[in-house]
């Protein structure tokens, strides 16, 4: 069964939906498993719903698609098997207005394929079922957010106690209902709290800690595994620390990863300064910069020779908060993080090349010396703009060949054809008109005789197909010369 492309909301237990008295749903076939969850509700009367399912759905049907002359056993067997193959979580059958009862062959097919089958009474509409699913999701999301918020507050309070590291571990273990352990650079347990797990789980968690312990570019910041029904997770505590946070829980609840990530950031801050004295070095570097020292004299205090500037924006609409920014810096491997409006900037040692991060869109500069930090900041900003325009996780700054360097006409023509090859004629003409009118949506729409929104959609598609930032004046110049030769 494929993994459902689940939405960013908690799933709804099927039992919770069945418990809604206002719906009067009744399960009449398939396994009654308390662990069965649904991620959304979808209505379809297609005979083969497979192409239209993402996985995790409660599929609702009134049986309009059932042919009268078909063999019921064969038809429903094929129908249910396709739903299961697509990852459908359950099937709801409405007994009105087409059918008076649920077909017995459908009941048998759902039992045979292990698909829960719900009877939807005549007075319950499919839209009412879908609304109930979203209401339950909203309630679960609210409960999850409240739990995470309360955990963040308790972890922050624990970090301010006289014994902050043990206090944070104790609070984390209590909030996730499991065991929290801090591993030292040599893999030994430095401190732990909560309900200790068995030998096999402890061994697996120690191995997981080695996976995330910083050892060079590409090392993951966190990793998870399940063994003997115990959920394990490990989190690296920043670059250079060598410390790893391990968490073991008997079950995995929504929000556990967020809570553990906050604890990892706090522990990184609490232990990082003590491990290397880097806090004093960063403070000294800041003071020297404020007093006029050039970057190349300050950089040795930060412990690296060459650098990469990374700009990042969260994929959500919310502006990044300091905790999320710190977590991003920890994942990338640098404590040098700045939150500026809706962008997080990270100054990263060159040996810790940035990797894509879940939930973030990143733009990275070229590798530079400290005296080139300002130029790298601009490169990272442009790379982030290209990443967002082309909807990719990470774009690195890189030089592009320019038409100015292609002196022979044959070479210039070949370059123009290659550059514009992804564009259909209509997109090419829209791009030509838009550039000739200096990017004016209204004037381009008037010139082409289309709506301004059509122009916006076509230009956005041009940017995506060309994988270029059309707001960059260098890109516009290169495209204009290419269009003139096409």
299-316 pLDDT, tens digit each: 777 776 788 999 998 887
Q: Is the pLDDT at 213 greater than 70, yes or no?
A: yes
Q: Is the pLDDT at 1 greater than 80, yes or no?
A: no
CA 407, 410, 416, 419 dihedral sign is: negative
Chain center to CA of 477: 34
167-184 pLDDT, tens digit each: 899 999 999 999 999 888
Phi/psi region, residue 254 (left: phi>0; alpha: psi -120 to 50; beta: rest), is beta
Q: Residues 6 or more apart from 44 whose CB is under 8 A from it?
A: 52, 59, 60, 61
39-97 pLDDT, tens digit each: 989 999 999 999 989 889 999 999 999 887 667 888 999 999 999 999 999 999 999 88
pLDDT of amino acid 302:
74
456/452 Cα distance (integer angstroms):
6
261-271 pLDDT, tens digit each: 888 888 887 77
411/258 Cα distance (integer angstroms):
53
402/477 Cα distance (integer angstroms):
9
Q: Is the pLDDT at 417 greater than 60, yes or no?
A: yes
Joined together, the tokens standing for residue 124 give 């319950």
Confidence of residue 283 (pLDDT cuts 50, 70, 90): low
Mean pLDDT lowest among 211-225, 241-255, 389-403: 389-403
Same fold, 12-136 and 161-276: no
State what percent of residues in the chain have pLDDT above 90. Answer: 30
Q: Which CATH code is given to the segment(s) 161-276?
A: 3.30.450.30
Q: What residue has token string 């624990």?
A: 158
Domains of the chain, by residue range, sit at 12-136, 161-276, 304-396, 403-484
Phi, psi for residue 48 in degrees, rounded to 5:
-125, 95
Angle at 412 between CA 409 and CA 415, to 5 degrees: 150
Mean pLDDT lowest among 59-73, 98-112, 282-296, 364-378: 282-296
Instruction: Give 189 or 88, the one with higher predicted confidence.
Output: 88
Confidence of residue 120 (pLDDT cuts 50, 70, 90): very high
pLDDT of amino acid 404:
46
pLDDT of amino acid 304:
67
Mean pLDDT lowest among 18-27, 202-211, 310-319, 424-433: 310-319
**Cα separations (Å) of 279 from 71, 163, 201, 268, 331?**
75, 19, 35, 12, 18
Phi/psi region, residue 63 (left: phi>0; alpha: psi -120 to 50; beta: rest), is left
37/132 Cα distance (integer angstroms):
14
Mean pLDDT computed over 266-295: 67
**pTM, 2 dp:** 0.46
Given CATH 1.10.10.2840, say whether it is the number of domain 403-484: yes
Joined together, the tokens standing for residue 365 give 């500069």
Highest CATH level, class, for 12-136? alpha beta
Confidence of residue 27 (pLDDT cuts 50, 70, 90): very high
430-461 pLDDT, tens digit each: 998 898 888 888 888 887 888 989 999 999 99
Q: Is the pLDDT at 482 greater than 50, yes or no?
A: yes
Chain center to CA of 68: 46
Instruction: Give 277 or 33, the one with higher predicted confidence.
Output: 33
């Amino acid at each position: 069964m494929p993994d459902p492309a689940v939405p960013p909301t908690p799933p709804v237990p099927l039992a919770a939906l069945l418990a809604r008295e206002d719906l009067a749903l009744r399960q009449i076939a398939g396994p009654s498993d308390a662990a069965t969850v649904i991620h959304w509700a979808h209505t379809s009367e297609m005979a083969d719903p497979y192409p239209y399912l993402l996985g995790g759905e409660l599929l609702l049907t009134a049986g309009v698609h059932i042919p009268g002359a078909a063999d019921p056993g064969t038809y429903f067997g094929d129908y249910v098997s396709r739903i299961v193959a697509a990852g459908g979580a359950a099937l709801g059958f409405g007994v009105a207005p087409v059918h008076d009862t649920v077909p017995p062959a459908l009941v048998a097919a759902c039992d045979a394929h292990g698909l829960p089958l719900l009877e939807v009474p005549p007075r319950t509409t499919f839209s009412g079922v879908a609304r109930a699913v979203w209401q339950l999701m909203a309630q679960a999301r609210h409960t999850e957010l409240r739990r995470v918020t309360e955990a963040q507050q308790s972890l922050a309070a624990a970090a301010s106690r006289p014994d902050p590291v043990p206090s944070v571990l104790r609070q984390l273990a209590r909030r996730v209902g499991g065991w929290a352990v801090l591993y030292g650079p040599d893999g030994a347990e430095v401190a732990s709290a909560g309900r200790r797990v068995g030998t096999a789980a402890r061994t697996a968690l120690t191995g997981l800690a080695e996976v995330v312990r910083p050892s060079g570019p590409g090392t993951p910041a966190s990793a998870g595994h399940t063994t003997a029904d115990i959920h394990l997770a490990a989190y690296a505590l920043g670059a250079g620390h060598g410390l790893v946070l391990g968490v073991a829980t008997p079950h995995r609840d929504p929000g556990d990863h967020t809570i553990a990530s906050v604890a990892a950031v706090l522990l990184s801050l609490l232990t990082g300064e003590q491990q290397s004295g880097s806090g004093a070095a960063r403070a000294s570097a800041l003071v020297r910069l404020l007093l006029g020292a050039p970057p190349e004299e300050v950089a040795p205090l930060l412990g690296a020779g060459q650098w990469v500037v990374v700009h990042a924006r969260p994929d959500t609409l919310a502006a990044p908060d300091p905790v999320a920014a710190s977590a991003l810096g920890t994942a990338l491997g640098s404590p040098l993080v700045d939150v500026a409006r809706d962008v997080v900037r990270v100054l990263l040692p060159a040996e810790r090349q940035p990797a894509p991060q879940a939930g973030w869109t990143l733009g990275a500069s070229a590798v530079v010396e400290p005296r080139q930090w300002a130029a790298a900041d601009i490169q990272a900003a442009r790379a982030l703009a290209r990443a967002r325009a082309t909807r990719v996780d990470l774009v690195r700054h890189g030089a592009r060949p320019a038409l100015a360097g292609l002196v022979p006409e044959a070479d210039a023509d070949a370059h123009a054809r290659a550059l514009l090859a992804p564009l259909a004629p209509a997109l090419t003409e829209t791009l030509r008109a838009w550039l000739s009118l200096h990017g004016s949506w209204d004037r381009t729409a008037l010139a082409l005789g289309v709506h301004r929104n059509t122009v916006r959609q076509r230009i956005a598609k041009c940017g995506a197909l060309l994988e270029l930032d059309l707001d960059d004046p260098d890109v516009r110049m290169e495209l204009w010369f290419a269009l003139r030769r096409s």
